[in-house]
Amino acid sequence: MLVPVVANAQYAPEEIVVTARKREETSISTPVVLSVVGAKDLERRAIAGVDGLTTIVPQLLISNGGGTIQGGMIVLRGIGTGESNTFADQAVAFDIDDVQVANASVRRFAEMDVQQIEVLKGPQALLFGKDSPGGIIAIHTADPTKSLVAKASLGYEAVGHEIRGDGYISGPITDSLGVRVAIYGSSLRGWVQNKTPSTALLAPQDKWLPNGTEYALRTTFKYEPNDRFDARLSMTHGWQSGSGPSANNQVVKCPFGTPQAGDNNDCTANNSISHGDTGPGFTRISPWLTNVPYVHANQSLVSLKMNYKLTDDWTLTSVTGLFDGTMKWLENFTATYTPNFDLPSSSKYRTTQETEELRIRSNYSGPINVMAGGTYASSRQKLESHSAFNALNPTFLNQYSLLQYGDAWSIFGQAMWNVLPTVELSGGARYSHEAKEIPVVIGNNPFVVQHPLETRATWNNVSPEVTATWRPTDKLTLFGSYKQGFLSGGFNAAITNFAGSLKYDQQIIKGFEVGAKAAALDNHLRLNLAAYDYEITGLQVSTTIVVNNVVTQPITNAGKVKIRGIEGDFAYSVPQLEALSFKGALAYNQARYDVFSVACWTGETPAQGCNFGAPSVSGAYSLQNLAGSQVLRAPAWSGSFGVTYETPIGNDLKLGMSTDATFNSSYFTDGSNNPYGKMPGYALLNASVRLAQEKDRWELAVIGNNLTDKMYWVRSGTVIFTGSGTGTVNGRPGDSAGLINRGRQIMLRVSVKTGE
């Protein structure tokens, strides 16, 4: 349980307690670079999912990805993984109530009733394992309370016509057992108008996109019979249903000024789209390919954490986790309504994961303490897909069924030595072993068993970590670390040549990080500063390859990547005006490919860089050398600034106001660094006004997000069937399309609360 430690000063901010080192410590004393987002910040901004963290945490990019069946992409400091591969693990994993999930599907969870989110930056392999070379997003949901408390909120967002409600009820069942039940629900009409003509063959059923409904339920029990043992069981289930996964996939750039598909696309990211349904004639090819795009998804996460004090100085912890998710969708992936450009695809995806972690740690008052443990994870993933093209003459493209099993185990040990009362040395290592197997590969028409070159692969890794920490006072911490991290390889599921090699290799990161954390002005000012220098071998990058109108999106290992940068943040509460506070952050990140040859983008000519490797018989090149180029989704600059003010008015009321802005400089959004899909720099502006009863018995709030209606995208690709002549002097670039973020949001929300 995370309990804030109140600072000594009368109006100073509360200390933030974190668990970045698997033990409760104040943020200022923890030698880990992290950003912490509390429940109040999430509520003030009406954030109901992890995607909203990108407006708070610099260098963090989270987004859906259209055909990224697993759930999208999570990138931190430019470190991510191949989002198009359904079977890939994430380089930035989620840790939800101590259960680690490397599957991006969990970003679709409605994160209601969250107590705190910690974004840990840089490799975290020692304490969190293999799926954390970029960092960890640790989500702590709220605990049951000692007394009966209930809260309900209902909001209406005017632009997307969304009705959103959430609430919880919490209290004791017995003196030693508490329960908390949280619910969430939303219904969204959509914020983008589909301008496809009603007379078109692929005229859409839905004129507003994206749309859908979502529900979630979490039940949490906490059992504390004595001061030796406690157990916490959390069970979350979510349901989603709505428009297809690429409902807001817009053409963002037309190199020749008009769309090559010949439709009415305006070639600009905005609040309108020209996107057709999948077409009525494909059912004779496959019963999966019906007319109207859709997504149906549900997932469950169970976490059981038990702590037992073997003695006053030794604690044994067990964390058992179960994650189960299913998803079925149908979509037209061509961002157009032109019939002969139509490419409908439908997939079913199922993933399960069981994990068990045991760890033991000491809590001696002396200079040396230790922690050791082990983790086991078993996973199963199945993907089935049917695709076709050309609504005028429905033609089979491909179909396949893939099954993957995974088993991973690791052991770790860490020692902390207080050399002096103000100096701590800590170090340790984790040994990891992972095996993945693809026992079933069935593809093409009719379904036949394929025989990949490899069906089983294993990876082994030792990731050490050493940290030196100096705390001259309780208000200043200086630290330096050497860290290594590891992300296993796997098998490509986003490919059609199943008789070839499906394997890609592991990703290794190693380097240094130094930082400083300080409190000043009687704790009213908090400062954090960090610098880092890492080298990545085998960065996993998704690339899109189009050959004879057949699209594949395999993961490719970049030979070597160097990432270095500096970041800082501050929080200041004005002593004379206790209700006024400021916070801000600024980060510079230089991420460059050192060695990396990759497929050319569609229509790239030799003069533009498509001139690497041996040309084909016809003289066309297919590779480019990206050495020295900016890494995918790695903006050089990012930052934020915000102001919050809250003051009593009258005898029993208070007024709160806040505004904040975030920005990112430009970055590539296509794995081949296609300049036509590059996202220009952008800034987002948010603001809110809240009127509440002094003890929060009720609140009326108006919340505005992205008030300037800025459109941005994190992933892009060439529109299918556009562009030609790749690797030749006559190359013609294709149009680029990207999945656009949500635009302006203005929500009116009412909340009521009872109990303490």
pLDDT value at position 4? 43
**What is the distance between the alpha carbons of residues 139 and 38, in angstroms, rounded to a whole number?**
10
Q: Assess if residue 2 is contained within a domain.
A: no
Domain residues for the domain of 415 are 17-754
- Establish if 345 belongs to a structural domain: yes
pLDDT at 550 over 70: no
Q: Bridge partners of 71?
A: none
Give bridge partners of residue 549 from the DSSP assignment. none
Distances (CA, A) of 678 to 589, 591, 593, 714, 723: 17, 16, 17, 9, 17
What is the per-residue pLDDT for 90?
86
**Residue 398, Ramachandran bin (φ over 0: left; ψ between -120 and 50: alpha; else beta):** beta
Reported confidence tier of residue 8, pLDDT bands at 50, 70, 90: very low
Nearest to 485 by CA among 467, 466, 511, 457: 511
Percent of the chain with pLDDT over 70: 93
324 part of a folded domain: yes
Residue 3 placed within a domain: no
Q: Is residue 644's pLDDT more than 50?
A: yes
pLDDT of residue 9: 34
What's the pLDDT at 556? 75
655 within a domain of the structure (yes/no): yes
The whole-number pLDDT of residue 111 equals 77
Strands 212-223 and 177-188: antiparallel
Determine, yes or no, domain membership for 632: yes
Residues 80-99, mean pLDDT to the nearest whole number: 85
Looking at per-residue confidence, does 617 or 582 come out higher? 582
pLDDT (average), residues 74-82: 86
Confidence class for position 219, pLDDT limits 50, 70, 90: very high
Q: Which of 162-166, 404-408, 715-719 has the lowest mean pLDDT?
A: 715-719
Q: Looking at residues 577-590, what average pLDDT do you find?
A: 92
The pLDDT confidence band at residue 12, using thresholds 50, 70 and 90, is: very low
Tell me the average pLDDT of the chain. 90
| 9 falls within a domain | no
Report the percentage of the chain scoring pLDDT > 90. Answer: 73
The predicted pLDDT at position 7 comes to 34
Residue 594 has pLDDT above 50, yes or no: yes
pLDDT for position 255? 96
> Average pLDDT, stretch 590-611?
93
Residue 4 inside a domain? The answer is no
In this predicted model, what pLDDT tens digit does every residue of 685-716 receive, in sequence order? Answer: 999 999 999 999 999 999 999 999 999 999 89
What is the average pLDDT across 33-62?
A: 89
d(CA 204, CA 293): 9
**Do residues 392 and 279 make contact, with C-beta atoms less than 8 angstroms apart?**
no
Q: Domain of 175: which CATH number? A: 2.40.170.20
Helices (H), 91-186: 125-128
Mean pLDDT over 63-90 rounds to: 77
At residue 6, does pLDDT exceed 60?
no
- Burial of 241 from C-beta contacts in 10 A (0-12 / 13-18 / 19+): middle
State the Cα–Cα distance between residues 383 and 399, nearest whole angstrom. Answer: 11
- State the total domains in the chain: 1
Mean pLDDT of the 424-450 span: 83
What does each C-alpha distance from 379 to 67, 385, 442 come to in angstroms? 22, 20, 20
Classify burial at 195, counting beta carbons within 10 Å of its beta carbon; exposed 0-12, middle 13-18, buried 19 or more: middle
